[in-house]
Chains A and B, each alone.
Chain A
């Protein structure tokens, strides 16, 4: 059992370590008390604790486990069974209910197993300490220890339960869905779902329609993420350097206006832009392009122009936050750097390249990476601007669909739940890979490592 409160953590750990070291040359106070017996006895929870003469703890554990088993065993076994069969009688059994009950049963049994192992470990450790002459605490002390140990779990508990239901359970559900044949033609409750193994993934790559769509969407997702994010960072850097010039006046006003696109809710501005870019009556065509250049651009009906428009809009939406970040960093760069560079006769570009740019990038790198990951899953702009369109012949994704909006379309418009789930898993793996890369860089990860 781990010790919970931080101040006692270190010294208890130390004594524990010391005890381990001295184990060899130290006389066992109770050589007859066998930790292995305690662990074995705990196969029935509570008995090992009783062997350690912690009767109240043992009784409590026994009652808890017994209650859990009596209450949940039925649900768990039927749940797991249902997870295997997914229902037997069409029109009566809803496979989706079987699936969700099965996942809940899985989660419950994971918890059960975790506590079960903890119970055995606890009995073993206590027995070991008794062997070394540790005195079993009296009841009130025992209660206090239990309270201290369980307190962090009490804090995390409510959040964890909610997290399981709202985030983890749905993600698991989606993962399982990817291995079924749930689509428009085979939908519960009318039909029974079946496990199909990796068929959906195989189809995604083997059937040329799916493969082409997938490759198109994935490549556009990557291009979109890279181009839109880089442009918004570049524009922000450019503007921040210009405005940071001490000779520029009205800095406060400029900052306020520049931050406006970030402050106005994005979903309204995107809808407004989609009206402005409308092919027939949007102001960009009728008020700017027609009168000045005598032409209009098919912003919403041509895939290339839609993509260009979306990138421009994202730059509009996304640069203010980065701009605000950069301005903060620029103001904190000491003037000494620039003075020294001036003495050496550095040009403006050299100063930017060697002083400004490294400073800004070093200070904001993790945030910039987050901008990339945000745009990778930026559903709102794709969906609100043109609903992923324009439609492309022979594929289920539109010309401007990125992975996440394609998944949305497959789910809610085409009802290809199995394929949507399979693509979600691929998206999830990409995200997880990226996250892993990000962890290793992040400072908090390194700091955590020292605990």
Chain B
């Protein structure tokens, strides 16, 4: 580089040097990004159970940890998968519907308390659910929903409303009012306008919201940790977390195998839908 500054270089050489530099940076980033991921894959294929002695390229290639997760009678992995799916599906369906209702009301109607409601949503969005965990714990305890998936589902739905109602409201605002006004002139009722005109038009954003709601239970471990107690009620994230939390080194290979199994489908969905997800997040912040 020092030489390059002193002597005037030909344009072509300079371009090549620049390109070389860029590719080097990109390559280094590739290594930094892929190393931990490939390392996990490698560890999951190692024999034994600890991190110690496990290497990225296993000496004795084995699928025993995957087999254990699926077939061992002591493994709850499939049960956790089922629990997570139950939570994810119920949250997705109920929360998305309630979010759409709320967002529609805030976008299309002018009612008393609307403005304060909008402020409240904006404010509540900023508070992490975690701040209220003691109260949630005690609340669920008094209504006997501790250690049950229903309690978890209710909290997820409640937390999802302020987060996403704004996103969807922003989208509804962009749908021309003339559409529902002309429908109203034609005699359509409130519900008819909502179900037959607004909902179909808002499909893209609703899909994004539904996807976020669906993914959340797969990735969140802290709320399940507060709510759920017995291993047969665990969700995937919590179960996996306990593999490493209980005795750190002992079950790491098993954790790695379980992590690969949930990371691959989730990463696939994210990569496949990245443009929609990112545009959804973007419009939420700038329009919402």
Partner of B101, one of A155, A282, A367, A427: A155
Which residues of chain B come closer than 8 Å to A2, judged between CB atoms? 110-112
B19 contacts partner chain A, Cβ-Cβ < 8 Å: yes
Knowing A162-B154, A242-B22, A242-B25, the reply to whether A276 touches B133 (Cβ < 8 A) is: no
A173/B219 in contact, CB under 8 A: no
A324 contacts partner chain B, Cβ-Cβ < 8 Å: yes
Closest residue of chain B to A369, judged by CB? B285
Which residues of chain B come closer than 8 Å to A266, judged between CB atoms? 219
B157/A283 in contact, CB under 8 A: no
B208 contacts partner chain A, Cβ-Cβ < 8 Å: no
A338 contacts partner chain B, Cβ-Cβ < 8 Å: no
B122 contacts partner chain A, Cβ-Cβ < 8 Å: yes
Knowing A162-B158, A258-B29, A265-B263, the reply to whether A155 touches B131 (Cβ < 8 A) is: no
A245/B22 in contact, CB under 8 A: yes
Per-position 1/0 for A139-169, Cβ under 8 A of B: 0000000011101110110111011011111
A197 contacts partner chain B, Cβ-Cβ < 8 Å: no
Q: Count contacts on B: residues with CB < 8 A to the other chain.
A: 99
Partner of B115, one of A158, A256, A448: A448
Which residues of chain A come closer than 8 Å to B157, judged between CB atoms? 162, 166
Which residues of chain B come closer than 8 Å to A97, judged between CB atoms? 142
B206 contacts partner chain A, Cβ-Cβ < 8 Å: no
Knowing A169-B139, A272-B39, the reply to whether A435 touches B126 (Cβ < 8 A) is: yes
| B127 smallest CB distance to A (angstroms) | 6
A52 contacts partner chain B, Cβ-Cβ < 8 Å: no
B287 contacts partner chain A, Cβ-Cβ < 8 Å: yes
B144 contacts partner chain A, Cβ-Cβ < 8 Å: no
Which residues of chain B come closer than 8 Å to A431, judged between CB atoms? 126-127
Q: Which of B1-9, B58-66, B72-80, B252-260 contacts A (4 or more CB under 8 A)?
A: B252-260
- Among the interface residues B37, B158, B241, B266, which one has the most CB atoms of the partner chain A within 10 A? B158
Which residues of chain A come closer than 8 Å to B175, judged between CB atoms? none
B105/A100 in contact, CB under 8 A: no
Partner of B26, one of A167, A254, A283: A254
| B167 smallest CB distance to A (angstroms) | 11
- Among the interface residues A162, A324, A411, A412, which one has the most CB atoms of the partner chain B within 10 A? A162
A167/B37 in contact, CB under 8 A: no
Which residues of chain A come closer than 8 Å to B109, judged between CB atoms? 4-6, 151-152, 155
A170/B37 in contact, CB under 8 A: no
Contact surface of B with A, Cβ cutoff 8 Å = 15, 19, 22-23, 25-26, 29-30, 32-34, 36-37, 39-40, 50-53, 56, 98-99, 101-102, 104-106, 108-112, 114-115, 117-119, 122-136, 138-139, 142, 154-155, 157-159, 161-162, 165-166, 170, 177, 181, 184, 190, 194, 218-222, 226, 237, 240-241, 244, 249, 252, 255-256, 259, 262-263, 266-267, 270-271, 274, 278, 281-282, 285-288
9 sampled A-B residue pairs with Cβ under 8 A: A96-B142, A156-B106, A159-B101, A243-B26, A258-B33, A264-B267, A272-B39, A367-B285, A428-B131
Assuming A162-B154, A272-B36, what are 10 further A-B pairs, CB within 8 angstroms?
A100-B138, A100-B142, A155-B104, A163-B124, A174-B134, A242-B22, A276-B39, A282-B51, A379-B128, A407-B131
Identify the 10 closest CB pairs spanning chains A and B, nearest first.
A166-B158, A170-B132, A170-B135, A173-B135, A263-B270, A152-B109, A155-B105, A263-B267, A268-B259, A281-B52
